Chain A
């Protein structure tokens, strides 16, 4: 069965510092997708990125960057020059092509989340 581990429960950084959120996953499938979501206090999930298992190219989007390494089953997320607006809970999630529910189940398994607090 798939599993996503976010070992960091809470992180506090001072504004403008860089911060990396860790995500380690487990899956038996060779085809899968990895996601990062942001959940501000309002509760709505904000999609940040999607990565498929065949694309290990790292990605940068503004102050956000993602490091996908299949060798270590990790998909880490870095925020550079953090801002107060980055304060939120961040979830890493995994979706398998087949999974325990059979082909095309597309179920998402979430990590427990990392609460990031950016202090001004």
Chain B
């Protein structure tokens, strides 16, 4: 089956620093990847849709300059949290869609837990 990996799985950083999270589709080429954010005991909220070779589409209320998304290849999308603050601490999950799949299924990565101290 389709596998999506995320790295790192857990990261702790100091306030004011930037952290990059990688999302990779391991056995298929993903033209579209999605980034979600999940606060404790809350649902997943879509942050942005990332299309290979073009700018990401951000959801309303998501700061583009703070959450930089790059989808430079068909198997890799990155989310960079710039100048992180404690309120950015959250669980970030990416997903990827296989364009060859006949369904609308998204394959999810295992998530990255970010803690900003």
Contacts and interface: CB of A to CB of B under 8 A. Distances in A.
A107 B105 contact: no
Interface residues of B, number: 22
Given A43-B110, A106-B32, A106-B97, A112 B103 contact: no
Contacts of A45: 44, 93, 108, 111
A11 B105 CA distance: 27
B28 interface: no
A25 interface: no
B46 interface: yes
A45 B93 CA distance: 9
B49 interface: yes
Nearest to A10: B41
Given A44-B110, A44-B111, A95-B104, A110 B43 contact: yes
A105 B48 CA distance: 12
B43 A106 contact: no
Given A45-B93, A106-B32, A33 B43 contact: no
Please give me the 4 A-B residue pairs with the lowest Cβ-Cβ distance, nearest first.
Answer: A95-B104, A45-B108, A44-B110, A33-B104
Interface string B104-117: 11111011010000
Nearest to B57: A101
A12 to B, nearest CB: 16
Interface in B73-117: 91, 93, 95, 97, 103-108, 110-111, 113
B67 interface: no
Nearest to A45: B108
A8 B49 CA distance: 29
Given A45-B93, A101-B57, A106 B111 contact: no
Given A43-B91, A44-B110, A50 B103 contact: yes
Nearest to A96: B104
Contacts of A110: 43-44
B108 A44 contact: yes
A90 to B, nearest CB: 11
Contacts of B97: 106
A33 B103 CA distance: 8
Interface in A66-120: 91, 95, 97, 101, 105-113, 115
